[in-house]
């Protein structure tokens, strides 16, 4: 019965998320409903002492990353830099390589620090135009954008500033550049296999005489020819974010050490800060802030004219994304205190290989919650100590644990109820029935890549 209560809470949260209800509202309801069925008297204490404590703790650590990432992405969009980058990539590869162009544009923007949701809105008009001119079915656009924005640059490549690569740093005391060789191998695998799948689908459609299609909804207007910023200038803030992320990671580690005691004149007692847990977060925040300043300097006129509305949209998006993930984090913390979770933990603990156990746990919870960051947060909050102990017993570096957790979070998270998937289909004017199978294929490729990376590690010892 204890197991069924914990499982029921997980399934309930997955169901309401799939139906489009707010996770912020239903995560505490699901968690406290499980507590009610276990120990009714503990409900108020579980809400205040566990759910809210963990939820607020997550926001304290990660909200600035969500906020700065959303603002940076919106500024790249309203400055016109995203159009310059897309045009440059298309000009370099040619319109005949429409799919590869869109994948690389999405990858470049994501790896440069632009929020995944912003990338969808920025890339879709160009994808629609190119697919229409190349007579590629519109139904393949979501899978193409997903491969570029939701896969290898989100959690595989070392140094990516996306939150899925930052969360593990606070548990394993690593940096965003953890296990670079394994991350690059995984990224290459995802890109090659993903592009092979998409090109296979394109050729099948061409052989069947299927073109772009007619009567689509949410079609963007024809692209206007306008004066765009030079591509090198548009890409410079993205390169700055990546380079400064690496630089700040080193400087913070050397300058602060493992810990820092904050003592200001009016403080009664110093505040102890564990810098080794936060250095990656601080580095990304500093890099994104520098990127925002760079966009302001390079495109002040364009940004200043639209920043009021754009800034509101960015803040609203950051609040929604961070609160969704924080609610799932609080939910996971409550479930982890229940006796039923012991059954789940022991069942997953029966998987003998520590890296496979971590990958299965993280990707399963990401799939259930429909969120890469939420599922990983639940898994690491509840079981990171077990993962670390198993890794130490088997001589596995923390960097490998980091990369496996990050890549696993970006696997089954893109099930139909995932917020990014729903947004992507909505923006493209398509339905799950029309286009989800291609997104799911990319999901399977991402999930398989985690186990490829694990196999490479055991075969070569690469980190």
d(CA 393, CA 100): 43
Q: What is the mean pLDDT of each run of 10 residues along the chain (463 residues)?
A: 83 75 86 92 93 89 86 86 82 82 91 81 84 91 93 92 91 93 97 96 94 84 72 90 90 87 87 85 91 92 87 84 81 83 78 94 81 83 90 96 95 76 84 90 92 97 94
Cβ-count burial of 97 within 10 angstroms (0-12 exposed, 13-18 middle, 19+ buried)? middle
- What does the H/E/C string look like for the chain? CHHHHHHHHHHHHHHHHHCCCCHHHHHHHHHHHHHHHHCHHHHHHHHHHHHHHHHHHHHHHHHHHHHHHHHHHHHHHHCCHHHHHHHHHHHHHCHHHHHHHHHHHHHHHHHCCCCHHHHHHHHHHHHHHHHHHHCCCHHHHHHHHHHHHCCHHHHCCCCCCCHHHHHHHHHHCCCCCCCHHHHHHHHHHHHHHHHHHHHHHHHHHHHCCCCCCCCCCCCCCCCCCCCCCCHHHHHHHHHHHHHHHHHHHHHHHHHHCCCEEECCCCCCCCEEECHHHHHHHHHHHHHHHHHHHHHHHHCHHHHHHHHHHHHHHHHHHHHHHHHHHHHHHHHHHHHCCCHHHHHHHHHHHCCCCHHHHHHHHHHHHHHHHCCHHHHHHHHHHHHHHHHHHHHHHCCCCHHHHHHHHHHHHCCHHHCCCCHHHHHHHHHHCCCHHHHHHHHHHHHHHHHHHHHHHHHHHHHHCCC
Q: Which two tokens stand for residue 234?
A: 């548009």
Q: What is the DSSP letter of 41?
A: G
pLDDT at 218: 77
Which tokens in the block code for residue 237?
């803030």
pTM of the entire predicted model:
0.83
Cα(178)–Cα(446) distance, integer angstroms? 18
Q: How far apart are CA 396 and CA 351, in angstroms?
A: 16
What confidence score (pLDDT) does residue 320 get? 80
- Quick one: pLDDT at residue 443? 85
Report yes or no: 68 and 290 within 8 Å, Cβ to Cβ: no
* Helix/strand number for the chain, H first, E second: 20, 2
Check if the beta carbon of residue 125 is closer than 8 Å to that of residue 223.
yes
């Amino acid at each position: 019965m204890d197991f069924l209560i914990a499982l029921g809470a997980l399934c309930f949260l997955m169901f309401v998320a799939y139906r489009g209800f707010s996770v912020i509202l239903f995560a505490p309801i699901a968690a406290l409903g499980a507590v009610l069925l276990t120990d009714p008297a503990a409900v108020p204490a579980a809400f205040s002492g566990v759910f809210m404590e963990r939820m607020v703790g997550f926001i304290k650590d990660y909200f600035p990353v969500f906020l700065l990432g959303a603002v940076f992405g919106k500024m790249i969009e309203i400055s016109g830099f995203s159009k310059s980058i897309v045009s440059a990539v298309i000009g370099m590869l040619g319109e005949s390589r429409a799919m590869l162009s869109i994948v690389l544009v999405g990858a470049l923007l994501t790896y440069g620090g632009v929020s995944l949701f912003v990338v969808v809105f920025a890339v879709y008009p160009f994808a629609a135009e190119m697919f229409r001119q190349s007579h590629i079915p519109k139904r393949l656009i979501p899978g193409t954008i997903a491969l570029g924005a939701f896969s290898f640059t989100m959690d595989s490549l070392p140094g990516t500033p996306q939150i899925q690569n930052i969360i593990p740093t606070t548990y394993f005391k690593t940096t965003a550049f953890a296990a670079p060789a394994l991350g690059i191998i995984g990224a290459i695998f995802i890109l090659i296999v993903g592009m092979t799948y998409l090109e296979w689908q394109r050729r099948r459609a061409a052989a069947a005489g299927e073109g772009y299609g007619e009567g689509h909804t949410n079609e963007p207007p024809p692209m206007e020819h306008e004066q765009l910023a030079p591509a090198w200038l548009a890409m410079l803030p993205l390169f700055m974010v990546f380079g400064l992320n690496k630089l700040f990671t080193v400087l913070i580690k050397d300058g602060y050490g493992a810990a820092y005691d904050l003592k200001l004149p009016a403080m009664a007692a110093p505040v102890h800060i564990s810098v080794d847990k936060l250095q990656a977060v601080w580095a990304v925040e500093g890099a994104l802030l520098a990127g925002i300043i760079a966009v302001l300097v390079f495109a002040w006129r364009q940004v200043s004219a639209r920043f009021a509305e754009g800034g509101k949209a960015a803040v609203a998006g950051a609040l929604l994304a961070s609160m969704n993930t924080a609610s799932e984090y609080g939910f996971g913390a409550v479930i982890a205190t229940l006796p039923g979770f012991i059954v789940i933990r022991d069942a997953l603990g029966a998987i003998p290989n520590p890296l496979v156990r971590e990958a299965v746990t993280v990707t399963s919870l990401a799939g259930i919650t429909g969120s890469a960051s939420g599922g990983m947060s639940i898994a690491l909050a509840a079981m990171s100590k077990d993962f670390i102990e198993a890794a130490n017993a088997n001589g596995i570096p923390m960097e490998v644990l980091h990369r496996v957790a990050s890549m696993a979070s970006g696997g089954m998270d893109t099930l139909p109820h995932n917020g990014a998937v729903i947004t992507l289909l909505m923006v493209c004017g398509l339905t799950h029935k029309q286009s989800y199978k291609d997104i799911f294929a990319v999901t399977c490729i991402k999930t398989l890549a985690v186990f490829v990376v694990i196999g490479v590690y055991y075969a070569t010892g690469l980190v």
